Amino acid sequence: MSGLENVLTWVDSSRDDMIRFMIHMLKIEAVNPESGGQGEYERALYIQREIETLGMKVTRYDIPDNRVRHGVRVNLISVIEGRDTSRTLWFVVHLDTVPEGSRELWSTAPYDPVVKDRKIFGRGSEDNGQAVVSTFFTLKALKVNGAKPSINVGGVFVSDEEMGSKFGIIPLIEKGIFGERDMVIAPDSGEPDGSVIEVAEKSSLWVKLITKGKQVHASIPEKGLNAYRVGLKLALQLDELLHSKYAEKNPLFDPPVSTFEPTKHELNVDNVNTVPGVDVQYFDCRILPQYSIKDVMRDFEAVKSKLEEETGALIQIEPIQLEENAAPTPPDSEVVQKLRVAIKKLNGVDAKARGIGGGTVGLHFRRKGIHTAVWSTVDDLAHQPNEYCKIDNIVKDAKVFVHVAMS
């Protein structure tokens, strides 16, 4: 067998080790502190020990964060030298997770992973645990088999992806670690058959809407100003305007339109017989590249001003996340083509380049002009109860990564 075939066979034989690694990792909670957790510190230390056990060097970047017990958010980088050392193929995965949500919706304990029906159930199993394990075992496969990749191959295990990457990939990019000629694969989105390689993202805008009226007893509403009613009008008017004004389609993306979704709504009053004086709600907007976030924000402000004049309420518009899209990775770029070849050869699938609405670390690399492909084989269960990953997908993705690294 060729060197590549030997390494691929080794990956197949490591299935049980992958399961053990995943179960141990998922038992270490890594909920982002923005969502009430203590972050990724202990999970990162586990990954660091496992990489160092292979005799590989790990460079650790601690980013200060006084919200967490240890005071830092940990990011890890480990590199295997290639035949050409002037460039690096990076696999970038994230260690943090969202919370489990409503426990009653889970059939298993979120942080006590269960293996069932060739799947591993647990919070963070698919997002992004599967990719962490596939990436680790890609590095391990190359190391223990003495394989020499065509260029350097690096694993990057980052914090804070779930809430904007301020303590993760953003400061790492600012340190100049990644070169313009490097390539990045971020296994953080995909399809059940692995048929989509993400090369572009929509702009992301999260907006908090605070409506202030006057709280009174519900039996005398004329003496108050119902902030909830005004808030409803605000949401409905925005929903209608934004969907009608920004209605163009772009076939690169799935879905091919901009989306504007009212999502979170905060508790306004505790009892039924009180007219709310304050109402707080949120919009999640995913905007196609042909539109500007600034134009969308101007429309938020225009609807707000008109409704304030009509009702006498005071309305605050607060953007809480604003990520303008970057130029797409060319579908014919080297990293996309290498992935296509590997996916076709190993899985028999013709993968297509697409844009998505979700946000990944790919955005930050594309802003620097670094060609980035986002790909994995997943059932799209991120943030859902009863999240799982298929064990077969861990193995198959690792084999694709090895193929790309050695091609």
Query: 161 an active-site residue?
Result: yes
Distance CA(405)–CA(7), nearest Å, equals: 11
- Out of 161, 182, 198, 397, the active site residue is 161
Q: Supply the DSSP symbol for 97.
A: B
Residue 71, amino acid: G
Query: Tokens for 176?
Result: 């100049």
Question: Cα-flanking dihedrals φ and ψ of residue 201, to 5°?
Answer: -130, 150
- Out of 96, 100, 279, 387, the active site residue is 96
Query: Tokens for 122?
Result: 């647990």
- Cα–Cα separations (whole angstroms), residue 282 to 91, 236, 261, 402: 33, 12, 8, 42
Distance CA(341)–CA(350), nearest Å, equals: 9
**Structure-token match 């605000």, residue found:** 234
Query: 29 an active-site residue?
Result: no
Q: What is the DSSP string of 112-130?
A: S-EEETTEEESTTIIIIIH
Pairing of strands 59-64, 183-186: unpaired
Identify the H or E element spanning 157. Answer: strand 151-158
The residues carrying an active-site annotation are: 96, 161
